[in-house]
Amino acid sequence: MSTLFAICATYEVDDGAARGFVLQRREPDGSAKPWPILVTRKGNNFYGFENACPHQGARLDKHPGEFMDEEGNFLVCGEHGAQFDLDTGQCFIGPCQGRTLAAVELVIDDGDICLSGIDLDEEDGLDIDDPEDDVPEVQITSD
Ligand code: FES
């Protein structure tokens, strides 16, 4: 079985929303290259896509973290306004109508959204804090 790489907990992606991550993917020559992806959610289903518009390859979030249209129903490319379904990644209006965001396979494991079978470099660049860092240290004092 291939290694799972947890990118965040399921509760960290709101229903009907999208969240972006920049991972580091290892290239065939051994170098690491930033790899922006996004995760969308519809109900309890999660979908992963490369954050690269099929029109001209731009990141959808021209303004970092802004993926949705004003009503919050669809993914929108900030470059020329193409709109995509949250679950299929298919562009239904815009300059790349009929084309689809490249899918990234997700595995849900014990409440975590994970990637499988992808050669990732270190976690550098992941845009979320390690939840372990938020746990306060317990100090036992006596007087
Ligand atoms: S690059 Fe996304 S619509 Fe043109």
* Predicted confidence (pLDDT) per residue in 127-141, tens digit: 544 444 444 445 445
Atom of ligand 1 nearest to the CA of 53: 2
pLDDT digits (tens, 9 = 90+) for 84-105: 999 999 999 999 999 999 999 9
Per-residue pLDDT tens digits for 14-33: 999 999 999 998 888 888 89
Q: Interior CA angle at 106 toward 51 and 22, to 5°?
A: 35
Please give the model's pTM, rounded to 2 decimal places.
0.82
**Which ligand 1 atom minimizes the distance to the CA of 81?**
3
CA distance 138 to 16: 37
Distance in Å, CA 4 to ligand 1 centroid: 31
Pocket of ligand 1 (CB under 6 A): 53, 55-56, 58, 77, 79-80, 82, 94-95
Distance 82 CA to ligand 1 centre (A): 6
36 or 130: which carries more pLDDT confidence?
36
Going from N- to C-terminal start, the domains of the chain cover 4-128
Domain 4-128: CATH architecture, name and number where available: 3-layer Sandwich (2.102)
